[in-house]
Amino acid sequence: MKDLHEILRILEKDGRLTAAQVADMLGRPEEEIEAVIRKAEQDGIIRRYKAVVHWDKAGEERVFAFIDVKVTPTRGFGFDDVAERIYKFPEVTAVYLVSGDHDLRVMVQGSTMQEVANFVYDKLATIDRVQSTATHFVLRRYKEDREIFAEAEEDHRLAVTL
C-alpha cells in the first residue's frame, strides 16, 4: 500500500514515466512496479493518463464556466439522480456536491460563450428539480491541478557552486 501510494504520487506528477524509470527511482525491480501499476489501472485507481494542455497558448479558444445549481433533493436519491443527469452531458467537465448556498457546482466547457449560455438555458435549467442556476464565466486561468499557467519561475541558480 505504501508502495502504491508512492508510485501514484510519482505518476500524478508525470504520467509518462515508464515503469522502469519509476522502478529506478524507488530502487525496486521493474516487474514489481509494472505489476502494481497494471493492477492500479485495472482497479480503476489510475483512471487514465492525459496531457495538461495550455489551450490559450495552443491558439484554440475554449470557454469555461462554473455553474452553481440549486436542486430540490428527493427521498431515496438525494442529489445523485440530478447530478447524474447533469454529468452525462459531454460539455460538463466536472460536477461536485458542495456545501454552502448552492448544492451542485458544475464546470462546463464550450467553444463560445453563446454555446455555454445555450447549454445552461436549454439543458441545465430545464431539468426537473433544478431551482436556479448562477453562471460564472472564467476570465483567466491562473492555476489548475497545481499547474501554474503564468510563466514559470526561472531557475536563477549559478551553473556551478561548490
Partner 1 sequence: MLSVAKHVQGVRASGIRKFFDIVAEMTDVISLGVGEPDFATPWNMREACIWSLEKGHTNYTSNWGMLELRELICQHLERLYGVSYSPANQVLVTVGVSEALDLVFRAILDPGDEVVIFDPCYVSYGPCVSFSHGVPVHVPTTVEQGFVPTPEQFRAAITPRTKAVLVAFPSNPTGAVADRETLQKIVDIAREADIFVVSDEIYDRLVYRAPHVCVAALDGAYDRTILLGGFSKSYAMTGLRIGYAAGPADVIEAMMKIHQYVTLCAPITAQKAAIEALRDGEDSVREMRDEYNRRRRLIVKRFNDCGMPCMDPGGAFYAFPSVKDFGLSSEEFAERLLYEKRVVVVPGSAFGECGEGYVRASYATAIDRIEEAASRIADFVKSLPRAVAVG
For residue 50, give the C-alpha cell: 492525459
Q: Report the Cα 155 to chain-centroid distance in Å.
A: 28
Which of 26/107 has CB closer to partner 1?
26
> Which residues of the chain form contacts with partner 1 (CB under 8 A)?
9-10, 14, 17, 21, 24-27, 153, 155, 157-162
Which of 21/133 has CB closer to partner 1?
21
Which of 14/115 has CB closer to partner 1?
14
Determine contact, residues 109/115, Cβ cutoff 8 Å: no
- Return d(Cα 131, Cα 72) in angstroms, integer: 7
Which residue has cell 433544478?
130
Least CB distance to partner 1 at residue 124 (A): 37
Least CB distance to partner 1 at residue 39 (A): 21
